Amino acid sequence: MINPFDAHFADIQNVKASGNNNYVMPGVYRAKIDSVTMKRNRKQEDIFVIQMTVLEIVAPISKTASGKQTESNPTGTSMSHVIKFAGPGAEMALPNIKGFCIAAIDGFADASNQTELIKMIYSDAQPLAGQEILVEAVGILTKRDTDFTQIRYSPAPTSTTAE
């Protein structure tokens, strides 16, 4: 069966990684991946959604890039990174997804089957569910001088505590 969303990832090999519900607010988090899905929003635009639970606020951020007060997502709450394939910023969809995949999937950066790996992560199997990841959400100002939260991912460090 052909999945209508698969076409979005045909060019994933050729892009560089870049660096909603409850959107990811500025802060640095250790999070657990709950799900990765492809779906359509209310405007019938294709979106890639990374749903996570905050396990720890590593570094809270209290102000946006323009100086407005903000709060990090609280520990134990759900947060979503919604990546749109349409509208302003759509050209960053693949680089943002690739950055997430490099952090979440060991060996993804050098894999020759990146398109197939991406299809697998948003499949019903949900192979990334339960995996920990570091999420860095930094407030930046757009060219129009509006606040925007740029999200970057890193592999979660493994514990070095002796048992």
41, 81, 94, 102, 149 from 86: Cα distances, Å: 11, 15, 12, 23, 18
pLDDT band, very low/low/confident/very high, at 14 (cuts 50, 70, 90): confident
Instruction: Using a cut of 0.95, tell me whether the model's pTM lies above it.
Output: no
Domain ranges of the chain: 6-154
Model pLDDT for residues 18-73, shown as the tens digit of each residue: 544 589 999 999 999 999 999 988 889 999 999 999 999 999 998 989 999 999 99
Q: What percent of the chain has pLDDT over 70?
A: 92
From 30, 75, 31, select the one nearest 51 (Cα to Cα).
31
- How far the first Cα of the chain sits from its last, in Å, is 48
pLDDT value at position 9? 82
Pick the closest to residue 5 from 44, 47, 42, 58 (CA basis).
47
Q: Which residues contact 108 (CB under 8 A, 6 or more apart)?
A: 98, 101, 102, 114, 117
